[in-house]
Structure 1
Amino acid sequence: MINCIIVDDEEHAIEVIQHYLKSIAAIQILATFTNPIDALSFLNNNSVDLIFLDIHMPEISGIEFIQTMNNKDTKVILTTAYKEFATSGFDLDVVDYLVKPIPLPRFLQAIGKVQKNINSKKVIQPITQDHEYFMVKTEAKGKMLKINIAEIDFVEGMKNYVAFHHNGIRTLALLAMKDVEEHLPKNQFIRVQKSFIIALNRITSIDGNRVILKGISAEILIGETYRKDFLDKMREKLLL
Structure 2
Amino acid sequence: MINCLVVDDEQHAIDVILHYIKQTPFLKLVKATTNPIEALQIVNMEKIDLVFLDVQMPEISGLDFAKAIQGKAKVILTTAYSEFAAEGFDLEVVDYLLKPISLPRFLKAVQRVINTITSTVSFAQQAESIEDDYIFVKTELKGKMLKINLRDIDYIEGMKNYVAISHGGTKTMVLLNMKDLEERLPKKHFLRVHKSYIVAVSKIVAVEGNIIRLKNQRVEILLGETYRSAFHEIMKHKLMG
Superposition TM-score, scaled by structure 2 size: 0.50
Between structures 1 and 2, the one with greater helix share? 2
